[in-house]
Chain A
Amino acid sequence: MKKTILTSLLGLGLMAPSGAEESKKPTEAAKAEAAVKHDKGTQKLADDQDTVSADVQELIDEQTNAKVIDLLSQVETLMAETTDRLDEKNTGGETIAIQTEIIEKIYEAAKEKSQ
């Protein structure tokens, strides 16, 4: 069964064996390519995070509930920190933890607003 899938994928030119063999031992260039991909990805993420941060600022401006404003301000601060971390190409556990905190805080703000 596995062989059939492999054969069909090879037939479609999707999984070139030579490429697969090469990929087993990536060259320095491949590693550098991955590093570049990571750098660009973090830069793009930092930009996206900054855009969401701007949306939060916009949302704060529309609010009258102090508690909601406070929570969204905290979200904005955390997003700024995340943006900085992503700028520094830091995609580690701490950055992800802050992002999780951001999501929790947004939910909290939504809950506060609905009360």
Chain B
Amino acid sequence: MPDSDPSPQLTPIPKELKKQLAEFQRQLWRTKIVEAILAGFFGLIISFLVVFVLDRFIATPPLARLGILIAGTSLFAIFAPLMMRRWIYGHRKEGQLARLISKKFPKLGDRLLGVVELQDQKESHKTLSPELRAAAMAHVARQVGKKDMGEALPISHYKKLGLGVALGALCVILGFSFAPKAGSNALKRWLLPLSGTERYTFTQLDLSGLPNPYTVPYDEPFVIIVPLKEETDDRPAIAAARYGLQDWLETDLSEKGYRFEFQGQQSSDVLTLRVGDALHRIRIEPEIRPELTALDAKVTLPAYLQLETKTIDIRSGTLSALAGSKIELEGTFSRDLKSATGTVSALPPDDEVVSTFEEASETETEQPAPLPDPTPLELTIFEDRITSSPIELGEFRVEIPLQWTDVKGLESSTSFNLKIQTAHDQAPLVYTQGIERQIVILAGETLEFEVLTEDDYGIQEIGLMWQGEFTKPTDESPASGELLLKQGSPSNSRLSELAIFSPKTHGIVPQKLTLVGYAQDFKPERERSLSEPIIIYILTEDEHAQLLKQRFDRLIGELEDAARREQNNLDTNERLDQLNKPEDLQNEENKEKLAQQEDAEDQNAEKMEEITKKMEELFKDAARNKSIEKETMKKMADSLQNMKELAKQDLPEIEKKLNESQDNKSTPEKAKKDLQEAIEKQKEALKKMQETIKKANEANNNFEASTFINRLKRAASDEDGISNKLVSSMTGQNSESKKAATPLLGAAAESDTFDPVFRRMIEMLGTQQRRTGSDVNWIQEDLANFYARTQKEIHKEIVDDMKKSEISLKLEGLQTRISKNRSFTAALEAKKWGAQLREWAKKLEGTPPDAAGGDGGGEGGANPEEKDFEFMLKVMRMVQAEQDIRSRTRSLEQLMRSVELRKAGQN
């Protein structure tokens, strides 16, 4: 049968029951929510406390802190939502609540569940009774009403959790109260585990001076000082440290902190530092200190030297550079540098060696200049190299201590102390070579010698300078001049040139000449350096002839000595020859005498050779002087030939025979024969010597005769000189008279107003007149002696003339006039006596030297030998003349080049 009522009828849960279930649900939710929150807080507090506690003992690693944080927050983040899901979402319906209640009260729970299901049952009036369902629900509601539903709630932990949170919070509060810095540090490290926040320790060490890793010198003891920070809360009295696994070192707290002294280390390791609650580990790396591997100085010399910049290796630590130079340092090191410093300090000068008294006195009076203050040296670092700013080198020597630190913080082992000595541009050293310091020449001769110079830098030029000086009164000006020999260059530190100096080329008349070589370097305002002076006496032919005569006199004296020695040797040999028996010649005593005789002969031969050489020189010089007659030259040549034969042939043969006479193998007869032969040869040699002396004396007499002419001429020239000087002074034509304030003429020499210039001149002329008077006296006396020896009439005539003229007396009077400044009459008289002396010279000159009793023989009667000699003499003089011309040509060429060099130098 079909259902007549299609709409179902629902029966709701009684209100009382519903209310009870809702209350149950509210209690359940509240309890579980509180539990979830407390559990979350508990986790956070515990994880923070873990970090806080751990940090008090170790520096909790970031990952560990992260793990702890995650674990702590997971209660909140994971566990709480799960609880919510289970207890809130899982118990939102009456049925779910009924099932929870059934766990505690199964019957009641089942009934409640039945009621919940009944209310949702859908049936019609025909099948079910709604009144019955309502009665059943009311019944269950009454039963539930009798029960305390709170008992059906699950076991709650919120009290324990609350207690735990409270205790944890108390711990946190206590931690923050007693160690707020540690608490806040732990909170920061807990909240931000990866932030790198340093662990807070009560002992706060200042490790800013200890980089990690820290480099120390290789195998050298090192010190680590660890100071405490200002804000440290704890100051432990003792700290400990150890290198790797080596023993712990303990040290006390000092004012600066904790000082640890470690032995030298060769390998890297970790240094553990424990001070109070602070624990640090620092990696230590032993490294060899940075070294200077190269140091160069770029020296820019003063501009005037015109030299390029030089690079000098100065690893030795010393440098010598010229004052005024600019020096740049360039250094290379074994490692890249972090910093480098240097200070330029001037040092007082070394004790200089004072070479002359003048310099010594100068230095004594000079006040030493104050030393400049030290200045820091600007250094530019580029990786492992440094360059300095230019150092301007002054008068003082300089010291530059260099120090450097590499990028690892290692300093140089020792300071590199660079010393720069200040050198000064020395004046060139100039000298001459190939010429004696004093020399006598004729005006036509030419000197050839070398001028050499050395300098520390460049030489600009070398040359010659000369200054003449007349030794007798004359109205001529002394010679003065110079000649440029060679131009140098900034790079020429040595320069040399052959100097060809001919007085004639430069118009220099006979006088005393001081010649010096000069050199000029490039230093501005420096005077020329000069060589040792060469004194050149430029002679007239008559002066030269007189000089030769003196040499000839000495040479004849030596020849006579040689002859005397030979005579003595001969006498001794003859005594040996007079022994009774030839056998006696071979006994020891006589053999020794023979040996002595041989030595004596050897010595005489050597002496003769020496005399021959001197004679050759004399002959050569005489050939140069045209005033010497050819007859004189012929006799000199003959003497020279004899001397050569004696030295090379005769005397050595005697020596040889004497040697043979001592031969032990010889019979007594043979020995005697050898001795006799030696004696014979010796006699011949002695004869030749005497002939040589005779010829030499004859030549010397001719020389003497010809020198009378020269001596008279020279005396005449002296008188002319005195006269000319007086005349030029009277007329105001010479330099002295121009300097004088009052005229010479008419002034009394004794007067106080007599001008000092003239006083000096008058004294000088008086002295000269006295010398000339003395010379004339000697000429007169020598002529008388010469006549006595040679009996040449012409000489007697001159002597008589001189006596008659009373020249000696008159010249004395002339000297007195000069001394009294009777200038005019003295000049006239000097002129007169000059003319007289010249006339006597002319008279002698007109007569050939041999005319009165000489060997005679004009050219017409000359034998072939004499003709040959004459030819040779002419040829010799011709060669000398041509050589002189050639030398003078060279000298002129040098003069011309000197002008061209100067032009080139100026351009």
Contacts and interface: CB of A to CB of B under 8 A. Distances in A.
Partners in one complex: yes
Interface of A: 1-7, 9, 12-15, 17, 19-20, 23-26, 31, 34-35, 37-38, 40-42, 44-45, 48-49, 52, 55-56, 59, 62-63, 82, 86, 91-92, 95-96, 99-100, 102-103, 106-107, 109-110, 113-114
A47 to B, nearest CB: 10
Interface residues of B, number: 53
21 contacts: A3-B355, A3-B358, A3-B359, A9-B514, A14-B533, A20-B528, A23-B482, A24-B520, A31-B902, A41-B891, A41-B892, A52-B878, A52-B885, A55-B877, A56-B878, A59-B871, A91-B889, A91-B896, A103-B882, A109-B875, A110-B871
Interface of B: 355-356, 358-359, 427, 429, 465, 467, 469, 480, 482, 504-507, 514, 516, 518, 520, 527-530, 532-533, 867-868, 871-872, 874-875, 877-879, 881-886, 888-893, 895-896, 898-899, 902-903, 906
Contacts of A9: 467, 514, 516, 530, 533
Contacts of B891: 41
A5 B902 contact: no
A89 B895 CA distance: 12
A39 B624 CA distance: 26
A40 B527 contact: no
B903 A31 contact: yes
Contact of B889 (A13, A20, A55, A96): A96
A14 B896 CA distance: 24
B879 A20 contact: no
B889 A34 contact: no
B533 A7 contact: no
A94 to B, nearest CB: 11
A100 B893 CA distance: 15
Contact of B895 (A12, A24, A37): A37
B527 A6 contact: yes
Contacts of A15: 465, 467, 516, 530
A51 B808 CA distance: 41
Given A14-B469, A17-B527, A91-B896, 12 more contacts: A6-B527, A9-B467, A25-B906, A31-B903, A34-B895, A41-B505, A59-B875, A82-B885, A106-B875, A110-B871, A113-B871, A113-B872
Contacts of A91: 889-890, 892-893, 896
B875 A5 contact: no
Instruction: Return the 4 tightest CB-CB contacts between A and B, nearest first.
Output: A14-B467, A99-B886, A91-B893, A91-B892
B886 A96 contact: yes
A55 B892 contact: no
B358 A99 contact: no
A44 B895 contact: no
B507 A37 contact: yes
Q: Output the residue of B359, B518, B868, B878 with the most chain A CB within 10 A.
A: B878
Contacts of B514: 9, 12, 14
A106 B878 contact: yes
B899 A106 contact: no
Contacts of B516: 9, 15
Contact of B878 (A13, A17, A55): A55
A44 B504 contact: yes
B530 A42 contact: no
